[in-house]
Amino acid sequence: MSEQSPVKQQGDALENLLHERRSFPPSADFAAGAVAQQSVYDEAAAEGPEFWARQARSLLTWDEDFTETLDWSDAPFAKWFGGGKLNAAYNALDRHVEAGRGDRVAIYFEGEPGDTRTYTYAQLTEEVKKAANAFESLGVSKGDRVAVYLPMIPEAVITMLACARIGAVHSVVFGGFSADALRNRIDDAEAKLVVTADGSYRRGKPTALKPAVDESLAKEGHTVTSVLVVRRNGEPVEWTEGRDIWWEDAVGSASAEHTAVGHDSEHPLFILYTSGTTGKPKGILHTTGGYLAQTAFTHLNTFDLKPETDVYWCTADIGWVTGHSYVTYAPLVNGATQLIYEGTPDTPHQGRWWELVEKYKVSILYTAPTAIRTCMKWGRDIPGKFNLDSIRVLGSVGEPINPEAWMWYRTVIGANGNQKEIPAPIVDTWWQTETGAHMIAPMPGVTATKPGSAQVAVPGISIDVVDEMGESVPNGSGGFLVIKEPWPAMLRGIWGDPERFKATYWSRFDNMYFAGDGAKKDEDGDIWLLGRVDDVMNVSGHRLSTTEIESALVSHPSVAEAAVVGAADETTGEAVVAFVILRGSAKDDDDIVATLRNHVGREIGPIAKPRHILVVPELPKTRSGKIMRRLLKDVAEGREAGDSSTLADNTVMQQIAESMRS
């Protein structure tokens, strides 16, 4: 065993990370017309928290101006824009109509079966006013919690904004979660109302949601008084008289007059549950003013949004934070036109996304690396059949994006299959449910982007990489990602559990927020995210990053996708086990496992060679696209796989087990 400190070892192993030297400066044209210029960094550095006060005043409409920018006296519980009052729904809707932008399209909706709806800002405002009246007539008032269990349909956005309008706190629960998971979240937040749908369409078939709500409420002892049901796929549903109401009856008959009143800047906006290291999910709490200011600022600047001309599409489900910040709130607060798509990327064919880009002339696309790698696996000919010329900015979120996927995204999507001389810039955005908004991301008109790196802190955000003692590491070294100053969109706590908030994020280092991610600074000081520190393996005293080995594997032409876990091992502490999906022709290669082991040995070093490489047909992923390494670890350690209720596709673990046997 080596004597070095673990962080030092991590740094050494990561020395080899992605020998990536490429860098792509913005084109002169893009830079000249960009929303964010170098000056925004300079201003943020000079102004401190007042930078955010200025953004909050210019991007939002306040019913009462705030009197205090930041109160950090009760750290780590922050208060931003104290004394101010504003209404999130008014900011997202009414004010655009009042300013004469009522006819601008807010949402283009495309259902999986191909049905479409268009909402202008005026129409969406009216729908939200009706929903707000309907919720109030069901007894929901300011401060009450509303559980939202809906597919990706406009009613999801309408519901969230109607809650915000009346000051009710929404708690969106992924449509992919089980009845039990829904009930736990309903109980934890003591929700009064559940908004759901009969179901939706996925992979060409109707799927059900309402039965899970019925099941979750079957056992007595809950706080729910009403269940509002959107009719989406027309499948038959069970009905509980006195509790269940059709959306079309309640909202359809409601008045379209509703005046938004200003709520305190720190009034709770939503709770969103996220899994922690222990079993019980954490209810991450966000409030109004700071959250809206930072989400709007980043949406405008990171994506270089031009609200009059852009068509923006974020492929995230509203069930996770990206769907909150960058579907429901920021795009509407900024007056953008956006696309919402209900279904899967391969229904009815694998070109569906690109067909939508062509049809709606999408100019800003925001998606996750796992989706990009899936499209890579299907082949470039598929997007090649569509005209992607409208795309001018590409975003990535959710996990580290490996350089191969980044380059593919750039040339195949961002350059319309290599036909554009100047490809669209890619912004890799690092942030978390807890941070509420982008924290590390290039500014596309300023930053020379590097494939695989999120690079620089957002203006006004203080990020660092520190060692075990909390000391800032020099360029070229790895360590733990921390946030050093409070930020406007930061979580205000864990619902009902202030001690857990402190213990989880604020106890590892003094006065710094511990993000739980490993990171490295390169020679230029740019930040590379290396995955969760809980995903860092220790093999014979050497720290190895799962991300690093996965990246080495997918850099081999035979590999479409890879997931790496550390399996407990008597001799070495942990052993590297890799699960790989092969590309077409490689499937017939009998020596592929040996080839890949040697490839990793060459890319990183012999210590990183996987002990086992298992070829599998699919990887287990959550609906937000994160690989569930915990389940793979169970397989790697020869156990029955644990709870897989949050998987997007429940059959994946079965497929893996079958491929193990064959």
Q: Which of 517, 548, 574, 634 binds ligand 6R9 (CB under 6 A)?
A: 517
Q: How far is the CB of 76 from ligand 6R9 (least distance, A)?
A: 18
What is the nearest approach in angstroms of ligand 6R9 to the Cβ of residue 431?
5
Q: Residue 99 to residues 61, 104, 169, 340, 626: CA-CA distances in angstroms?
A: 12, 11, 28, 24, 40
Distances in whole angstroms, Cα of residue 362 to Cα of each of 310, 385, 414, 423: 7, 16, 12, 15
Of 320 and 505, CB closest to ligand 6R9:
320
Interacting residue with ligand 6R9 among 167, 335, 400, 451 (CB under 6 A): 400
Q: How far is the CB of 141 from ligand 6R9 (least distance, A)?
A: 30
Name 563's bridge partners.
Answer: 579
Judge whether 169 and 193 are in contact, CB under 8 Å: no
Helix (H, G, I), strand (E, B) or coil at 525: coil
> Shortest gap between Cβ of 481 and ligand 6R9 (angstroms)?
8
Element spanning 202, H or E: strand 199-202
State which of residues 111, 199, 335, 398 lies at the interface with ligand 6R9 (CB under 6 A).
398
Supply the minimum distance, in Å, between the C-beta of residue 622 and ligand 6R9: 9
Taking the least distance from each CB to ligand 6R9, the nearer of 524 and 534 is 534
Binding mask 591-630 for ligand 6R9 (x = CB under 6 A): ---------------------------------x------
Amino acid, res. 348: P
Provide the H-helix boundaries in 35-110.
Answer: 38-47, 50-59, 88-92, 94-96
Of 599, 604, 443, 439, the closest CA to residue 519 belongs to 439
Nearer to ligand 6R9, 398 or 414 (CB): 398
Write down the least CB distance from residue 441 to ligand 6R9, Å: 8
By CB under 6 A, name the one of 161, 333, 397, 456 that touches ligand 6R9.
397
Show the site string, 523-542: x = touches ligand 6R9 by CB under 6 A, - = not.
------x--x----------
463 membership: H or E segment, kind and range: strand 463-466
Least distance to ligand 6R9, CB of residue 394, Å: 13
In angstroms, give the least distance from the CB of 450 to ligand 6R9.
13
Applying the rule CB under 6 A, the residues between 421 and 460 that interact with ligand 6R9 are 428-433, 454
CB 522 within 8 A of CB 475: yes
Residue number with CB closer to ligand 6R9 (95 or 410)? 410
- Rounded distance, CA 199 to CA 25, Å? 46
Site string for ligand 6R9, 263-292 (x = CB under 6 A): -----------x------------------
Q: Which is nearer to ligand 6R9, 322 or 477 (CB)?
A: 322
Pick 97 or 619: Cβ nearer ligand 6R9: 619
Q: Residue 404 and residue 367: Cα distance in Å, rounded?
A: 16
Q: Which of 399, 522, 561, 574 binds ligand 6R9 (CB under 6 A)?
A: 399
| Residue 390, C-beta contacts closer than 8 angstroms, at least 6 positions apart | 311, 357, 358, 361, 362, 363
199/516 with CB nearer ligand 6R9: 516
Work out how close the CB of 16 gets to ligand 6R9 at its nearest, in angstroms, rounded to a whole number: 18
Per the CB < 8 A criterion, the answer to whether 411 and 379 are in contact is: no
Which of 493, 430, 485 is CA-nearest to residue 50?
Answer: 485
DSSP annotation of 521 = E
DSSP H or E segment with residue 595: helix 592-603
Footprint (CB under 6 A) of ligand 6R9, residues 313-342: 320-322
Token digits of residue 526? 């740019």
CB 625 within 8 A of CB 398: yes
In the region spanning residues 492 to 511, those forming contacts with ligand 6R9, defined by CB under 6 A, are none
Minimum Å distance from CB 518 to ligand 6R9? 9
Residue type, 5: S
Q: Would you state the structure tokens that stand for residue 493, as one six-digit string?
A: 């706590």
Amino acid at residue number 354: W
Window 290-309: contact mask with ligand 6R9 (x via CB under 6 A): --------------------
Instruction: Tell me the C-alpha distance between 631 and 499, whole Å.
Output: 29
Task: Give the shortest CB-284-to-ligand 6R9 separation in angstroms.
Answer: 8
Q: By CB under 6 A, how many residues form the interface with ligand 6R9?
A: 22
Calculate helix-pair angle for 652-661, 629-636, nearest 10 degrees. Answer: 20
Binding-site ranges for ligand 6R9 (CB under 6 A): 274, 320-322, 396-400, 428-433, 454, 515-517, 529, 532, 624
